Amino acid sequence: MADYKFNRTVRLDYHEVLAWQTEMYVAVGMSPTDANTSAHHLVIADARGVYSHGIMRTPTYIEKMRLGGLNPTARPEIIRGKGPTIVVDGHNAMGQVAASFGTEKAIELAREFGSSTVSITGSNHLGTCAYYTEQAAAADMVGFCWTINANNIMAPWGGIDARLGNNPFGISAPCLTRPPVTLDMATSVVARGKIAMAMKTGTQIPSNWALDKFGNPTTDPEAAFHGTVQPSGEYKGYGLTFMNAIVSAILNGSAFGEDVGDFFENPTQVQNTGHLLQFIDISAIDDVTAFKQRMDNAVTYLKAANRREGVDEIFVPGEMEARSFARQTEQGIDYPLEVIQELAQLGTTLGVSTRPEWTAEVAVR
């Protein structure tokens, strides 16, 4: 994800984009704190190179807030609890706001009980799972985040109807001298956006990306778009997808199956998305420094493996994103000019001004 190539890019300062995006979410009615949480999530995703979950989503989020699909002033609430195990109702807040509330509680509870389980309902698309699990890692915890995805695009194995999302999950653990190791993956081979992109550019797709509407592998992006995405790891990926739906959504009664609305196509529909956080305080298991040293050693060990021809470097999960993050928070985040221009237009309707040089063609690099 970390190495996007854009035709026309503009490089923007991390803090300035954050302030700009925060202002937009305030303009649509969010509290400054919630607006900052939402914007922070998106800009962090961009800095990590995961642009698909960054500020390019702001127009969709804001449209939903304007049309009632998302409640900008909702306050997430603990509706049930037993020691380190709680249920949070997001009351239709931004997923980022509900999941951040849950993350804060998960850290507090794991600190007290050694581990915690936070089941979140009444939420929305939470962005990247990594955002929450890396907060666990920063608190010297191992973090798991499971979520059902916003629309049904995958068939059960052997089937042809889209009845599952490509439900993503994340797991993070901290190192001593390196960034945390973070897996953040959806359970399809690729995101559906890549198929849409291939359709736009008229490019054939690899035959393991998608099935056509008859359930057969296809290289035609159009047929793929009207079919279903293939699970990563075939029937195993299908199994993982369903289990993720169970633990994130079915567990607490959030939307599953026919109740799942399309996040993009129906801006007035309440999503009722579910998530699950499981955090483990490392100090409850072992000495934290000893653990982090083992993590460093393990990463070094894997990276030192002999490589197949043409491979310059072996990466551990999240390493490319961490590298992109370090570079882009320091030197500025490269954005496609079109995304910034679209957001500037949205800003105009919200009364949020955009620095003229951000959208000027002359700024194009």
Site string for its own copies, 53-82 (x = CB under 8 A): ---------------------------xxx
Please select the residue that binds its own copies; options are 119, 128, 328, 354, rule is CB under 8 A: 119
b/e code 23-37 from CB counts within 10 Å (16+ = b): bbbbbbebeeebbbb
Any contact of residue 101 with its own copies (CB under 8 A)? no
Minimum gap (Å) between residue 244 Cβ and its own copies: 9
Any contact of residue 183 with its own copies (CB under 8 A)? yes
Please list every residue from 232 through 261 that binds its own copies, using CB under 8 A.
Answer: 232-234, 236-237, 239-240, 242-243, 245-247, 250-253, 256-258
Question: What's the one-letter identity of residue 256?
Answer: F
Minimum gap (Å) between residue 278 Cβ and its own copies: 6
The smaller minimum CB distance to its own copies, of residues 32 and 206, is found at 206
SS (H, E, C) 245-288: HHHHHHCCCCCCHHHCCCCCCCCCCCCCEEEEEEEEEHHHCCCH
Any contact of residue 323 with its own copies (CB under 8 A)? no
Minimum gap (Å) between residue 273 Cβ and its own copies: 15
What is the token pair recorded at 352? 């949020």
Please list every residue from 188 through 207 that binds its own copies, using CB under 8 A.
Answer: 189
| In contact, 193 and 1? CB cutoff 8 Å | no
Please list every residue from 277 through 306 that binds its own copies, using CB under 8 A.
Answer: 278, 280-282, 284-286, 290-291, 294-295, 297-298, 301-303, 305-306
Please list every residue from 205 through 234 that binds its own copies, using CB under 8 A.
Answer: 211, 214-216, 232-234
Q: Is the dihedral of CA 185, 186, 188, 190 positive or negative?
A: negative
What is the token pair recorded at 188? 């399809």
| In contact, 84 and 112? CB cutoff 8 Å | yes
Residue with tokens 């309440």: 270
